[in-house]
Amino acid sequence: MQQSDRSGLLYALAGFCMLTIGDSIVKGIDGAWAPTAIAAWRYGLGALGLSILLVVKQGPRALFDVPRPGVQWLRGAAVAMATICFFVGVWLMPLTEAIALAFTQPMFTAILATLFLGEKLRWQTVAAILVAFAGVLIVLRPNFAEIGLAALLPLGAALGMAILVTANRAVAGTGSALAMQAYVAIFASAILLVAMVAGHASGMAQLQLEWPAWHIPARVAIIAVTASTAHWLIYKGTELAGAATVAPMTYGQLFAASLVGYVFFAEVPDLTAMLGAGLIVLAGLWLWRAGRVRRIGKMQG
């Protein structure tokens, strides 16, 4: 393995594991502020920081010359959906199990790519989807009995991220990586702000806006900083080793979440739940390997 590949893998692994910091902070907040407010504040801070950085790096025009604005709105909506679903999901169920369910994103992405991008649905993809579905059913078993349909929220987060990945392909090459990151934060912030106001107006107790204790927005600010740093590390790893090489490193987040859940929240997933999580991870790795084999075949051909 080349030195650049090793460095890329370490960068990506560090980035994916760092995402767990934000996940654990969200779980620690646990209903102390409306999830729409937390998400809006998190992406609002991210949008501000990324916009300033974009203007400094590429000039003011880059901030307003947005390519394919319709797709950018879709990207923002997808992130907004994923964020709210995931935040509520980790409040209601163990952190490891919520993240395991969110790892169904590659399977959702494969289905969306077939439906909207015209990609061929291969037998390996179908098999991976079926294995992941079995894993989902196993993980959902105890959670569904305890919290009902709310156990599906991490799957909503996975679907939101799959929509984002599919939309990313539609705007690939229309702007820099920094610009694409800034646009998704800006559009997500706008949508989340509307969702926050609408949630308050709905009268639902969980979505009512109240002035939080000072440490709640401070914790969300930490989430914004750690998430932005994590995404930079992942981007750096991808730049050094390539997206296909670093993709399996995403599962480092699951192991980090298991450790954090055990140490800070006294969560010990049962063996059945871990079996389901293992099937989801196996399906994702199988899908990754099948894609890598196809890419190598095309290069050699």
Instruction: Read off the DSSP letter of residue 172.
Output: T
Round the average pLDDT of the chain to a whole number and report it.
86
CB-based burial of residue 300 (10 Å sphere; 0-12 exposed, 13-18 middle, 19+ buried)?
exposed
Per domain, the residue ranges of the chain are 3-101+149-268
For the stretch 18-72, pLDDT in tens is 989 999 999 999 889 999 999 999 999 999 999 999 999 999 999 999 999 999 9
Of 187 and 16, which is predicted with more confidence?
187
For the stretch 148-166, pLDDT in tens is 888 899 999 999 988 988 8
pLDDT greater than 80 at residue 300: no
* Residue 110: pLDDT band with limits 50, 70, 90: confident
Instruction: Read off the DSSP letter of residue 67.
Output: S
pLDDT greater than 60 at residue 1: no
Closest CA to 176 of 245, 235, 227, 242: 235
Q: DSSP letters of 236-289?
A: HHHHHH-HHHHGGGGGHHHHHHHHHHHHHH-----HHHHHHHHHHHHHHHHHHH
* Residue 215: pLDDT band with limits 50, 70, 90: very high
For the stretch 249-277, pLDDT in tens is 778 888 888 888 888 888 887 788 888 88
pLDDT greater than 90 at residue 12: no
List C-alpha distances in Å: 11 to 46, 165, 239, 250, 256: 21, 21, 10, 11, 15
pLDDT greater than 60 at residue 196: yes
The two tokens of residue 192 are 């989340």
Segment 214-228 mean pLDDT: 92
Cβ atoms within 10 A of the Cβ of 224, count? 20
Query: Would you state the pLDDT for residue 245?
Result: 66
pLDDT greater than 80 at residue 145: no
Query: Which ranges in 30-122 belong to alpha helices (H)?
Result: 35-58, 61-64, 69-92, 95-102, 105-116
pTM (predicted TM-score): 0.85
